[in-house]
Amino acid sequence: MKKKVVMLGSFVVDLTTRQKGLPVPGQTLLGDSFQMGPGGKGSNQAVAAHRAGADVTLITKLGRDVFANVATDFYQKEGIDCSHILYDEERETGIALIEVDTQSAQNMIVVVPAACMHITDEDIEACRPLIEQADILLLQFEINFSALFKAIDIAHAAGVTIVLNPAPAKEIPDEVLAKVDIVTPNETEAQQLTGVKVETVEDAKRAAATFLHKGVKNVVITLGAMGAFASDGKTSVLEPRLRVNAVDTTGAGDAFNGGFVMALAEGKDLFTALRCGNVTGALSVTRPGTAPSMPSRAEILSFYQECYGEPFAES
C-alpha cells in the first residue's frame, strides 16, 4: 500500500530569463526569453512526487494576490489537493528571480519566500492532525524555522518519517537534526551543516558520518557531476550521474527529492529510492522550467529500467 506523504514548504512564482551567460555585477545582458511559472522548492518537490505517483498533500502559504492564482491554477490542472493551502492576509506570495544560461544550463537564483516566511504556530497547530497521520513528512528550508521546527517536533513525536532537504543552505541546531530520519543536502548544503568540504566521494562519506554522529538516521548527498550518494550508517552507495542532454538544471534537486520520496512511499529501501531520485532529477533537466519540467511516472519507470537494467517494481 502507498504511504501518505505530506509536504510542508514553499510555493513561489518563478520569474525566469534565458540568455547566453550569466550577468556579473554591473552588467546588463540581453535575454532571449522570459517565463513566469510555478516554483518554490517545496511545491516543486510535491509536484515531482505527485507526478511520480505518490499520494501527496501539500501545505504552503500564499498571499491574497494574482501570484497566488499561479499556484492554485497549476495545482487544479495537476489534480493536486489545494485544501490545506494557508493564506496570509498581509504578505505577498513569494517569488524567485531565476537566470538560466542557455549554453551551460546553469542558473542563478534569488528567492523571496514572502508569505512562506510567516507560517505561524497556529497554522502548524491546525495542520497537526494531517502531519500526525502522514507516513512521510517532506521539508526544506524556504519557510520560517519556527514553523519548520514545530512541524519536525510534531512528526517526530508521532513517529512520522522526516525527510529534510536542507535547501537553501542554513545552519540548524543539532537537536533538530537529530530528529530527522533522512537528510538530503547537495554538496554545498552538506558542507554548511557538517563543516566538511565536499568535493569527492570520500568527502561525502565523511560528511555523512558527521550527520550520522549528530543523530540523523540516513544521509543522501547529491553531488552534481559525480552523481548521488547515500548512507544508512552501515552501507554507502554512490550512483553515478546519468547522462542526459541538459537544457536547464533549475529544480533538479527538487525532482530528485520528489522521485526519492515516491520510492520510499512505495516501501522501497534507501538505495532503490536513491536510484529513483537520480532518474527523476536527470529527466527534469532535459526540459526547461522547474515544476513544469517534472517527469511523469511512466517516464521515470521507463528511464529507470533503461539505466539500471531492471524494472522499478510496482508496489
Active site residues: 254
Q: Which of 231, 227, 243, 226 has its CA nearest to residue 303? A: 243
CA-CA distance, 170 to 144, in Å (whole number)? 11
Quickly count: other Cβ atoms within 10 Å of residue 34's Cβ: 10
**Residue 96 interacts with ligand RIB (CB under 6 A): yes or no:** yes
In Å, how far from its chain's centre is CA 75? 17
6, 8, 17, 39: which one binds ligand RIB (CB under 6 A)? 39
Reported as type and span, the H/E element at residue 308 is helix 297-308
| Residue 194 cell numbers, joined | 557538517
60, 218, 222, 290: which one binds ligand RIB (CB under 6 A)? 290
Question: Could you tell me the smallest distance in angstroms from the CB atom of residue 311 to ligand RIB?
Answer: 29
**Residue 119 interacts with ligand RIB (CB under 6 A): yes or no:** no
**Residue 152 interacts with ligand RIB (CB under 6 A): yes or no:** no
Question: Could you tell me the smallest distance in angstroms from the CB atom of residue 221 to ligand RIB?
Answer: 16
8, 14, 74, 276: which one binds ligand RIB (CB under 6 A)? 14
| Residue 224 cell numbers, joined | 552534481
Answer positive or negative: Cα dihedral of 45, 46, 49, 52: negative
Q: x-or-dash pattern for ligand RIB, window 198-237, by CB under 6 A?
A: ----------------------------------------
**Residue 250 interacts with ligand RIB (CB under 6 A): yes or no:** yes
Which residues have C-beta within 8 Å of that of residue 204, sequence separation ≥ 6? 187, 190, 198, 221, 223, 229, 238
Q: Which stretch binds ligand RIB (CB under 6 A): 17-25, 175-183, 237-245, 246-254?
A: 246-254
6, 8, 9, 44: which one binds ligand RIB (CB under 6 A)? 44
List own/partner pairs for 183-187 with CB under 8 A and 24 or more apart.
183/211, 183/216, 183/218, 183/219, 183/220, 184/220, 184/221, 184/222, 184/256, 184/257, 184/260, 185/221, 185/222, 186/221, 186/222, 186/223, 186/224, 186/253, 187/221, 187/222, 187/223, 187/224
Residue by residue, DSSP assigns 77-122 as HHT---TT-EEESSSPEEEEEEEEETTT--EEEEEEEEGGG---HH
| Residue 165 cell numbers, joined | 532537504
Question: Could you tell me the smallest distance in angstroms from the CB atom of residue 127 to ligand RIB?
Answer: 21
Which residue in the shown chain puts its C-beta closest to ligand RIB? 39
**Residue 41 interacts with ligand RIB (CB under 6 A): yes or no:** yes
**Residue 93 interacts with ligand RIB (CB under 6 A): yes or no:** no
Q: Which stretch binds ligand RIB (CB under 6 A): 58-66, 208-216, 230-238, 251-259?
A: 251-259
Q: Which stretch binds ligand RIB (CB under 6 A): 39-47, 127-135, 155-163, 268-276?
A: 39-47
**Residue 165 interacts with ligand RIB (CB under 6 A): yes or no:** no
**Residue 92 interacts with ligand RIB (CB under 6 A): yes or no:** no
- Please tell me the count of residues contacting ligand RIB according to CB under 6 A: 15
Question: Could you tell me the smallest distance in angstroms from the CB atom of residue 31 to ligand RIB?
Answer: 17
* Interacting residues toward ligand RIB by CB under 6 A: 12, 14, 39-41, 44, 96, 109, 111, 142, 250-251, 253-254, 290
